[in-house]
Amino acid sequence: MALDAWQSFNDRISWDGTVHVACEPMATPLEPAAFTRLQELDAGVLATLVMLGERGSSEPADDETAAAITRVDAKLNVLLEMFNRHLLGHLQLPPRRTVRFNARGVLIEDWAPAGPNAALMVRMHFDGCLGMPLELPGRVAAAPAGSGGFITFEKLDEDIRQSIEHLVFRQHRRQLAETKREAKTPRP
C-alpha cells in the first residue's frame, strides 16, 4: 500500500519549489465541522494562489482596459507586499524547505518524519499568501531512501484535489514556457 501511494504520487506532475512548511502530529482525527471548515479555507488559499499565478496572463480587449488592469494589478502588488511585510513582523513562519507536492501528497526534502504511518497536519505557507497556510491532513508513508519525508494526503474533498491539480498544472505550464523562452534567447 505504501509503495502504491509513492508510485501514485510520483506518476503525476508536481508543484516544485520552496515554501515555509511545518508538519504537526495529529493525535485524533479532525471533527467533521472542523474538517469542513479546513476544506473551505484551503479552497480559498488555492484560489488565491491560482489567481496570483495567472496575473498578467490574459490579453485585455483594448488599451483603456489594459491600463486599468495594470493600475489595479500594481495596487494589488503593493497591498500584498505591505500585508506580507506586516505579517512577517508578527508571524512565526516555519523553516523554508524544498517540496514537491500534488493532490496525492507532499515530499519534503531534508526532513525526517516522526514515525511510519503517523497522522500529521501539513501546513505550507506560500509566498503569495504567507498569512494563510494551505493545511492538509496526511499520513507518513514510505519513500525511497534519501528522498526526504513523504506524506500522503487523506480524505481530501474532490474539489480540493482538483484545485491542487489545477495549481500544479499552471506552475508546470509556466515552467515549460520559461524554459522555451530561455531556449529562444540568444546567449552572448
What is the pLDDT at residue 136? 96
Backbone angles phi, psi at 159, to 5 degrees: -65, -40
Lowest mean pLDDT among 69-73, 93-97, 137-141: 69-73
Query: Which positions ≥6 away from 1 have C-beta within 8 Å?
Result: none
pTM above 0.75, yes or no: yes
**How do residues 106-154 score in pLDDT, each as one tens digit?**
999 989 887 888 999 999 999 878 888 999 999 999 888 878 899 999 8
CA–CA separation, 74 vs 161, rounded Å? 31
